[in-house]
Structure 1
Amino acid sequence: MPELSDHLWYSITSLGGAGMTLPLAFAIALWLAVGYTSRMAAGWLLLLGAAIGVVTVTKLAFLGWGVGVRELDFTGVSGHAMLSTAVYPVALFLMLLRAHPAVRVLGVLLGLAAGMAVGVSRVVLSAHSPSEAVTGCLVGALAALLFVRMAWKAQPERLSVLPVAVSLMLLAVLMHGVHVPTQRWVTHIALKVSGHDRPFIRAKWKAIRNVPPATAPVAQTHNLLAPPASFHA
């Protein structure tokens, strides 16, 4: 991994936070509705919503029932990586609508690179495993590229570049570092739906197959750790 200070890694990872990316996503939808059609705005929000759904389902599955892939250390798609990889390419695409197609492509690639940097930061800061960061980037990139393909031939003169660029950049500055407790919300939902008192934890899940939630009786956990009877022969 690149040798950067922890402060810089935290600054990079905050670029993928929901407190920053979701306001940007809604601002993009608003500009699309104003400059083009509500259908285009809805298309963008549906694609992003589907990507958010993938993240949410995988997190719920692990937190509530311990569903994951041990071989890949996968416990759920990274939301930071997904949101940044989905939102920034579309934001730059919108700001560069009047530019040459090659410049627009470059903007989209820069947006994807920013999302991948956020994904790397999640691994460096031990917030996610590599598999979770990679899948987050892939899901976000798919949503972004599908929208770019859908909107590629949009008439650029219908939006003024300066107000779009200024509003999105100003919003990014104002919302940078704003924390939204999405993980806590997802955990709360997982516990409500699964009926468990505590969520599944990565460390115990990796150590023991079919581990019960953290509130399982001590005797039950001891039985799981005990070797089979045949070992005592």
Structure 2
Amino acid sequence: MPDLPIHLWYSITSLGGAGLTLPLALAIALWLSVGYSWRLAACWLALLGAAIGVVTVTKLAFLGWGVGVRELDFTGVSGHSMLSTAVYPVAMFLMLLPARPAIRLLGVLAGLAAGIAVGLSRVVLSAHSPSEAVTGCLVGALAALVFVRIAWNAEPGRLSAMPVAVSMMVLAVAMHDVHVPTQRWVTHIALKVSGHDRPFIRAKWKAARDLHPAAAPLSQPLDTFKPSRASQI
């Protein structure tokens, strides 16, 4: 792991917070609808919504019912990792749409790198396990790359790069420290749906042993077999 000051890791991880990434995602949709078409904007929101759905379902499954993968220390897809790898590549793509394809591609890769850095920060800060951060990056990157592929041939001259870039930067600065209690909301929903009083917690879940009784042997040794009354008749 890179040896960075802890406050820098917190600054990196805040780039993936919903308070920042969701306004950026809505701004992307707004620019798409203004400069291109509402269909392209709807496509972007649908892909992002599907990725958010994957994160939400996995978190609900663990918090409400303890569904996870102990071998991988997996309790749900990382939302920070997913949002950052989904939003930043598309934001860079939109800002660089008037540029040459090679420059546009470099922007998308830079956005993916930013998302991966957020995923790494979640592991360093012990907010998520490596498997949760990796799956978050994969889900977000898939949503971003599918959209980029769909919109790659959009007419580049319909939006000026400067206002798009300025609006994204202003949003990033204004919303950088905004906290949205998404984990609390998901936990509340999980408890309501599951009917449990308390959510499952990673530490207890990992420490829990298999309490299911051992399966009965398929056959018994001949010297321990005792015939029943019915078999003696």
Regarding TM over 0.5, the answer is yes
Q: 1:89-128 maps to which residues of 2 (within 5 A)?
A: 89-128=89-128
Q: Output the amino acid matched with 1:2.
A: P
What SS is found at the alignment partner of 2:15? helix
Which digits, 9 at most, give the CA deviation of each residue in 1:59-89, with x for residues without a partner?
0000000000000000000000000000000
- Give how far 1:177 is off: 1.4
Unaligned runs of 5+ in 2: 215-233
Q: 1:183-198 maps to which residues of 2 (within 5 A)?
A: 183-198=183-198
What SS is found at the alignment partner of 2:41? helix
- Give how far 1:168 is off: 0.7
2:222 — aligned with what? none
2:86 — aligned with what? 86
- Give how far 1:17 is off: 0.1
1:153 — aligned with what? 153
- Give how far 1:5 is off: 0.8
Distance 1:157 1:111 in 2: 22
Larger-gyration structure (1/2): 2
Distance 2:177 2:128 in 1: 19
- Give how far 1:203 is off: 0.5
| Percentage of matched positions with identical amino acids | 84
Q: Output the amino acid matched with 2:96.
A: L
Distance 2:133 2:161 in 1: 32
1:137 — aligned with what? 137
What SS is found at the alignment partner of 1:24? helix
**Cα RMSD, aligned residues only:** 1.2
Which digits, 9 at most, give the CA deviation of each residue in 1:31-83, with x for residues without a partner?
00000110000000000000000000000000000000000000000000000
For the pair 1:61 / 2:61, whether they are aligned, the reply is yes
- Give how far 1:209 is off: 3.6
Q: Which runs of 4+ in 1 moved over 2 A?
A: none
1:10 — aligned with what? 10
Distance 1:6 1:16 in 2: 16
1:201 — aligned with what? 201
Unaligned runs of 5+ in 1: 211-223, 229-233
Q: Output the amino acid matched with 2:193.
A: V
1:221 — aligned with what? none
Q: Output the amino acid matched with 1:10.
A: Y
Paired residues, number: 213
1:220 — aligned with what? none
Using structure 1 for the length normalisation, give the TM-score. 0.90
